[in-house]
Amino acid sequence: FFGSFLCIVFIMWMTRCLVDRLSLETSESISMYLVELIGTLIVSTTYSMSTLHDSPISSIAIGFVVIALIYAFGHISGAHFNPMITIAVYVRGGGFLNTRHTFIFINKRDTFMFMLMQIIGACLGALLTYYIYGEWPYIEPSAHYQNRIGSIFFVEFIYSFLISIVVINVTTTVLQGGNFFYGVSIGMSITAGICVGHRISGGVFNPAIATALSLTNVMRTHGTIKWLWLYWVAPLLGGIFGGLSYFVLNVKEIEHIERMRQENGRQQF
């Protein structure tokens, strides 16, 4: 364990040295990717531990961790920690508001790297949980619902849509820029989803964590990876619809931004 800790410290030190030698734009990208890896690792560890004991307050612990990490890292990467949220933000327009209320865009490369870092972080979190508990964490629908694919799909889809629509409206809209409740809103929507969906689909709403816990599930006796496709398709569809919802529900803001652009264009002319 001590050797693993030293390896992590060494990697972070090497990353810092590398960042110091790179351009500002590249340095900011590396910082975003590193934050997504670390944040997802912590969320994954918390979620993975909750799968090993059926506690009624597990969902609250997960929600609180997400809230804390959003306030800690939101100004760096947007604090996605979830491919579903990354896709939703990209579909909406590819960005987030930082603490200076400036909209920062993420491109296709950032979207891919975010998702890759999230998967790696989630897998590291699952492995860390195994090291701590000595048991493999896992995710799968409850036995009562394993023959009801529609129920599993719609629980993952509906609450992924809920989470993504909350993220889009409290973190990427100009009219709500500068609010201080965004972290609580997102964390509580995740808590609500897990409370409702835990006994049906497993209530993960996060393809990265689902991938990690499906892989570790294979290590268990009679464990399976067959549910993984559901944990990707349903949340990503929820994220896509959540991103598209911005253009339907925020017509007033879109018109406002367009008027401002036209006025700025006339002034420059």
Which of these, 58, 57, 60, 99, lies nearest to 78 by C-alpha position? Answer: 99
Three-class SS state of 104: strand
Quote the pLDDT of residue 269: 38
Task: Answer yes or no: are the C-beta atoms of 157 and 238 closer than 8 Å.
Answer: yes
Report yes or no: 141 and 201 within 8 Å, Cβ to Cβ: yes
Q: With 80 as the cut, is the pLDDT of residue 249 above it? A: yes
> How much is the pLDDT for 229?
95
- Euclidean distance between CA atoms 10 and 5, whole angstroms: 9
For the chain, the average pLDDT equals: 84
Rg of the chain over all Cα atoms, to the nearest angstrom: 19
Q: At residue 7, does pLDDT exceed 90?
A: no
Who contacts 128 (Cβ-Cβ below 8 Å, separation ≥6)? 41, 45, 48
d(CA 175, CA 87): 22
What does the pLDDT average to over 15-38? Answer: 69
CA quadruple 195, 199, 200, 204: dihedral positive or negative?
Answer: positive
pTM, two decimal places: 0.85
Give tens-digit pLDDT for 95-143: 554 444 445 567 888 899 999 999 999 999 999 999 998 899 999 998 8
The answer, yes or no, to whether residue 12 has pLDDT greater than 70, is: no
Whether the pLDDT of residue 147 is over 70: the answer is: yes
First to last CA, the chain: 64
